């Protein structure tokens, strides 16, 4: 439970850091709106249970918070006049509808807990979240250097998923059931962050504020 709550806090922190970074610098340079759009799809398809049953106040609050903050980030980059002018549309060019949405939907049709609409959408959200960071990753590698606050956002976002893996490991050790779909998605997602973790830690040990990535 500790790892999961800590992971949730890191997840929310990552979104707030990104919102602060955009508002504070008054630009969206180096930020992928497509990654945020993918996360919005992830949350919208995963949290269909908000309309079906009540789990807890904490559960409901966190789900609504993810949806609202992610929607706000998309609004800033796509519609707010002050910020949308700085959004690098050409740099954020990954075709996720072609390379991510379709394959993830096919996987969800094959691998799911139960062949119902809600369960298929839940599986789809897990597979999609595993690769939702790809447009942001591609954008950062094109630029070659990630500025300070953006690097903190990426690190905390990756840390959230790493803590969830620790939570699943703890459950396995306690002989508690876990979802292999969630576990596999979490492992893939963490692997995608591994390279950035290395360069982030290296930069901080050197005292560098920005993080240099190999192009």
Report the number of distinct structural domains present in the chain.
Answer: 1
d(CA 19, CA 31): 11
Q: What is the mean pLDDT of the chain?
A: 94
Query: Band of the pLDDT at 124, cuts 50, 70, 90?
Result: very high
pLDDT at 1 over 80: no
Query: Band of the pLDDT at 212, cuts 50, 70, 90?
Result: very high
Token duo for residue 92:
């954020």
d(CA 164, CA 57): 20
d(CA 137, CA 213): 10
Percent of the chain with pLDDT over 70: 100
Each residue of 50-87: pLDDT tens digit?
A: 988 888 999 999 999 999 999 999 999 999 999 999 99
Only one residue has tokens 């050790």, namely 173
Strand partners for 146: 211
Supply angle C-alpha 127, 42, 34, rounded to 5: 100
Residues 6+ apart with CB under 8 A from 140: 30, 146, 150, 154, 196, 213
CA-wise closest residue to 133 among 163, 164, 160? 160
Token duo for residue 44:
């919208």
Each residue of 135-159: pLDDT tens digit?
A: 999 999 999 999 999 999 999 999 9
For residue 25, what pLDDT is reported?
94
For residue 172, what pLDDT is reported?
86
pLDDT at 31 over 90: yes
For residue 175, what pLDDT is reported?
86
Mean pLDDT of 179-204: 92
Structural domain including 87 reads 2-212
């Amino acid at each position: 439970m500790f790892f999961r709550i800590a992971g949730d806090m890191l997840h929310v922190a990552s979104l707030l850091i990104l919102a602060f970074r955009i508002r504070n610098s008054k630009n969206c340079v180096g930020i992928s709106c497509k990654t945020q759009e993918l996360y919005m799809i992830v949350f919208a398809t995963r949290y269909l249970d908000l309309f079906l049953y009540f789990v807890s106040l904490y559960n409901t609050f966190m789900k609504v918070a993810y949806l609202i903050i992610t929607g706000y980030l998309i609004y800033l980059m796509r519609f707010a006049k002050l910020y949308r002018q700085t959004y690098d549309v050409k740099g954020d060019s990954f075709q996720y509808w072609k390379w991510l949405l379709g394959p993830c939907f096919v996987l969800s049709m094959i691998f799911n807990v139960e062949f119902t609409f809600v369960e298929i959408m839940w599986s789809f959200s897990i597979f999609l979240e595993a690769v939702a960071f790809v447009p942001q990753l591609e954008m950062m590698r094109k630029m070659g250097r990630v500025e300070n606050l953006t690097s903190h956002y990426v690190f905390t976002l990756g840390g959230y998923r790493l803590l969830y893996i620790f939570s699943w490991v703890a459950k396995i050790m306690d002989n508690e059931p876990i979802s292999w779909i969630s576990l596999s998605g979490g492992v893939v997602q963490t692997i995608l962050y591994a390279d950035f973790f290395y360069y982030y830690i290296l930069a901080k040990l050197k005292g560098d504020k920005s993080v240099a990535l190999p192009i």
